[in-house]
Amino acid sequence: MSIRSLLFLVILLAVAASGQAAADGAGCPPLRGTGDLGMVIERDGGAVLVVEHSGRTILGRVDGLGDLSHAAAVFSRDGRHAYVFGRDGGLSKVDLLGLRLEKRIVQAGNSIGGALSSDGRLVAAQNYEPGGVKVFDAETLALVADLPADPGGPAPGVRSKVVGLADAPGNRFVYSLFDAGEIRVADLGDATHPVVSRFAGIGRQPYDGLITPDGRYYLAGLFGEDGLALLDLWHPEAGVRRILDGYGRGEQPLPVYKMPHLRGWALASGRAWLPAIGRHEVLVAEAAGWTEVARVPVLGQPVFVIARPDGRQLWVTFALPENDRIQVIDVPTGAVVRTIATGPAALHLEFTPRGDEVWVSVRDRNLVQIYDTASFALKAELPASSPSGIFFTARAGRIGF
């Protein structure tokens, strides 16, 4: 081998080595799964933090999502994409692995949340203005169906705000009409020909709704009355019935400084645990017959009552002025076992998929706190600008999330 050809070989090897180094570095990130990914809404900046809960780190920030002052998110089946619903009617599709905003449309004037269909192909947004539900292709965000929340009849133009949108098996979406006091079920089995069933007269001012983990029962919380409206989706012909009727027993409710949220609600040990509106109580209903069996006194008006995934604990956030603390209820005894001072404006919490840890957004401290749910020890704090909703991709596999 000549000196020249030896030199050539050395250069060739050097180039190959540097190419490998580049492939291992920033140019081609290592493969990773999506099962431990998540997202924290930064409500002031119109941005989301992409996080992972195995190592409790922030992977990056994606901005340009518009007004996220009341934002919610759902995930694609594979956990790679998040669909973020912004207050300004924006629907954003975020690539969690690519850390980028893949697509954004403004689909309404004022929106509040959404849901993914059971086949994962449709994403539905619930809108205040114009009131209704719009359904989009989850891949392209092209409009598939527009379902106005108008009452029909003599005043077809008056639309109702839509709340409590939930996905049900069979590519159905269930939602409530705040102004009209209705529950509607939209069947998008044939997405181009949606069939909407209406259940009127469910009670005054439904403010949110939830669906049970099996996708069978839909409950709408009523602001204007003490009670909830229940629809059995296995027997829709039986209509809507009232449960926990008159739970206030005629007492004057307290001022409600923040509407409770029912999505992310708790079903534990065969009992449903629900925030009482205008009361410092968590209502406990036996889930087989939906009758009240107990109440748990708590320190303020509950906003979120969320069960740890194993159902042994419930973690509760509160409305003003008690929103600087959260409480933990022990399910077997039905008693508060811990009060944690988080600092002002603890807005939301999300458990890791098996519940070993819980992430809590503390808006006015610009922090996400991570607690061990067995010892209640504060394990880590992550900086976030006015954090609100926290959403982990484990939601992708759950009905109603």
Partner 1 sequence: MGAACRIVGGFVALVWCVAAPGPGAALAPGTPDRLETLLLHDCGACHGGSLKGGLGRPLLPAALTGRTEETLATIILDGIPGTPMPPWRALLTPADAAWLARRLLKGSTP
C-alpha distances in Å from residue 286, one per residue of 214, 270, 292, 307: 16, 6, 6, 15
- The full DSSP string for 34-53 is STTEEEEEETTTTEEEEEET
Q: Which is nearer to partner 1, 34 or 110 (CB)?
A: 110
**Residue 381 to residue 179: CA distance in whole angstroms:** 41
Q: Which stretch binds partner 1 (CB under 8 A): 12-20, 61-69, 132-140, 188-196?
A: 61-69
Q: Looking at 191, 196, 256, 287, which residue binds partner 1 (CB under 8 A)? A: 256
| Count of other CB atoms within 10 angstroms of residue 108 | 24
Task: Give me the phi and psi of 22, to 5 degrees please.
Answer: -65, -40
* 316 vs 319, beta carbon nearer partner 1: 319
Secondary structure E strands in 188-288: 195-199, 206-211, 217-222, 228-232, 240-243, 266-268, 271-275, 281-286
Q: How far is the CB of 147 from partner 1 (least distance, A)?
A: 19
| Stretch near partner 1 under the rule CB under 8 A, chosen from 139-147, 184-192, 257-265, 370-378 | 257-265
From the list 10-18, 148-156, 251-259, 281-289, the region that binds partner 1 by CB under 8 A is: 251-259
CA–CA gap between residue 397 and residue 58 (Å, rounded) = 23
67 lies in the binding site for partner 1 (CB under 8 A) = yes
* 258 makes contact with partner 1 (CB under 8 A): yes
Give the residue, chosen from 81, 87, 93, 134, that forms a contact with partner 1 under the rule CB under 8 A: 87
Decide whether 257 or 290 has the Cβ nearer to partner 1: 257
* Whether 348 contacts 4, CB under 8 Å: no
What is the total count of residues that contact partner 1 (CB under 8 A)?
Answer: 30
- If the CB atoms of residues 191 and 256 are measured against partner 1, the closer one turns out to be 256
Binding mask 200-239 for partner 1 (x = CB under 8 A): -----x-x---------------xx---------------
Among 119, 187, 286, 364, binds partner 1 (CB under 8 A): 364
146 binds partner 1 (CB under 8 A): no
Residue holding tokens 């992550």?
A: 382
Q: Which residues pair with 177 in a beta bridge?
A: 162, 182
Among 34, 69, 197, 269, binds partner 1 (CB under 8 A): 69
- d(C-alpha 206, C-alpha 197), whole Å: 17
Residue 157 beta carbon to partner 1: minimum distance, rounded to whole angstroms: 15
Nearest CA-CA partner of 317 in 279, 356, 357, 361: 361
Residue 366 interacting with partner 1 (CB under 8 A): no
Binding mask 113-142 for partner 1 (x = CB under 8 A): ---------------xx-------------
- Whole-number Cα distances in Å, 214 to 138, 150, 172, 241, 398: 23, 29, 14, 19, 9
SS3 21: helix
Nearer to partner 1 by Cβ, of 52 and 208: the residue is 208
On whether the CB atoms of residues 71 and 40 are closer than 8 A, the answer is no
Query: Is 391 in contact with 81 (CB distance < 8 Å)?
Result: no
Instruction: Report which of 341, 231, 209, 221 is spatially closest to residue 283, judged by C-alpha positions.
Output: 221
Both tokens assigned to 215: 């996708």
Residue 296 CB, shortest distance to partner 1, in Å, is: 23
| 103 binding partner 1? (CB under 8 A) | no
205 or 373: whose CB is closer to partner 1?
A: 205
Among 175, 178, 265, 371, indicate the residue that binds partner 1 (CB under 8 A): 178
Tell whether residue 299 is a contact of partner 1 (CB under 8 A). Answer: no
- Per the DSSP assignment, residues forming a β-bridge with 295 are 283
Task: List residues near partner 1 by CB under 8 A.
Answer: 43-44, 67-70, 87-88, 110, 112, 128-129, 161, 163, 178, 205, 207, 223-224, 255-259, 320-321, 345, 363-364, 386
